[in-house]
Amino acid sequence: MYEEFLDFAVDVAREAGAIQLAAFRSGDLGVETKSNLYDVVTRIDKECEALIGRRIAERWPSHALLGEEGGERGNAGSEYRWVVDPLDGTTNYSQGLPVFAVSIALQQHGETVVGVVYAPCLDELYTAVKGGGAWLSYRGLKPRRIRVTRKENLGAAVLATGFPYDKDVNPDNNCDNVARLLPRIRGLRRMGSAAYDLCAVAAGWIDGFWELALHEWDICAGERIVVEAGGIVERLRPDRGVSILAGAPELVAEMRRFVR
């Protein structure tokens, strides 16, 4: 029942990704700061969100939208709400690093039922609808179903994480979690895009992921993709924005022993 929404989200994500690729490493990104020096936005973030919002309004004018750059808009009383991060990984993008993604999710009555994450430089498209599994398509190959890894031992795990924008003024900045976990795991990666991190967990490229002080638009699509890939996404704590643990249930339980 969600296929029409999925097809639409895929088309719009690819359209936004094309805009990002056209400007990537161009030196003409119009980089600005938002909440502090570490929190950046480019003109491409804004152009892509405007495009996605316009496409949604044209197709479904009665729907609501939450976007990173524009906040809440549309029909607040709608049963449907789109949650959009037009360019997740803006710091990577502004630096010329190729790990960034378009993240588009659709919620129905507050539950995420469609998730699409597209990484343009890698040409990786991750998709999921409620009850339909998680899928990866790239390099023109036929979509294939993806699953989280089943590792239970932290010593064999490669994990990913990130750090909040207020890391310079708030000592609750995830460094303590890294210090507890790093000696106990095979490896740690900081890829710079929570949406992509979650998809890497869903596909088994990364065994688990945690991060503090995220936002709904960072994780909404990726969470559905992880769940449909057989994993879980747990809320870590209520006092630091959207803080999560993700991976196979057994590994998340092990991570929770050290992440707080």
246 — pLDDT class (breaks 50, 70, 90) = very high
Q: Which tens digits make up the pLDDT trace of 18-68?
A: 999 999 999 889 999 998 998 889 999 999 999 999 999 999 999 999 999
Contact of 161 with 210, CB cutoff 8 Å: yes
> Where are the chain's structural domains?
3-145, 154-256
Q: What is the mean pLDDT of residues 93-97?
A: 98
* Closest to 17 in 3D by CA, of 117, 141, 91, 166: 117
Give the up-direction half-sphere exposure of residue 6: CA atoms within 13 A in the CB hemisphere: 19
Query: Could you tell me the two tokens for 230?
Result: 């057989």
167 — pLDDT class (breaks 50, 70, 90) = very high
SS3 sequence, the chain? CCHHHHHHHHHHHHHHHHHHHHHCCCCCCCCEECCCCCCEECHHHHHHHHHHHHHHHHHCCCCEEEECCCEEEECCCCCEEEEEEEEECHHHHHHCCCCCEEEEEEEECCEEEEEEEEECCCCEEEEEECCCCEEEEECCCCCEECCCCCCCCHHHCEEEECCCCCCCCCCCCCHHHHHHHHHHCCEEECCCCHHHHHHHHHHCCCCEEEEEEECHHHHHHHHHHHHHCCCEEEEEECCCCEEEEEECHHHHHHHHCCCC
pLDDT at 1: 84
Domain 154-256, CATH 3.40.190.80 — does that match?
A: yes
pLDDT at 15: 98
Residue 173 has pLDDT above 90, yes or no: yes
Residue 104 has pLDDT above 90, yes or no: yes
- For 31: left if phi > 0, alpha if psi spans -120 to 50, otherwise beta; the answer is beta
Q: Which tens digits make up the pLDDT trace of 194-233?
A: 999 999 999 999 999 999 999 999 999 999 999 999 999 9
pLDDT at 38: 85
pLDDT at 140: 83
Give every CB contact of residue 75 below 8 A, 6+ residues apart in sequence.
61, 62, 63, 64
Residue 259 has pLDDT above 90, yes or no: yes
CA angle, 13 then 221 then 249, to 5°: 145
Q: Which tens digits make up the pLDDT trace of 143-153?
A: 999 999 999 99
pLDDT at 8: 98
Q: What is the mean pLDDT of residues 96-116?
A: 98
pLDDT at 39: 87
Q: What is the mean pLDDT of residues 165-187?
A: 96
Kindly report the CATH number that applies to the domain delimited by 3-145. Answer: 3.30.540.10
* Closest to 14 in 3D by CA, of 116, 139, 140: 116
Q: Which tens digits make up the pLDDT trace of 108-138?
A: 999 999 999 999 999 999 999 999 999 999 9
Give helix 43-59 / helix 3-23 axis angle, nearest 10°: 150
Q: Distance (Å, rounded) from C-alpha 193 to C-alpha 220?
A: 13
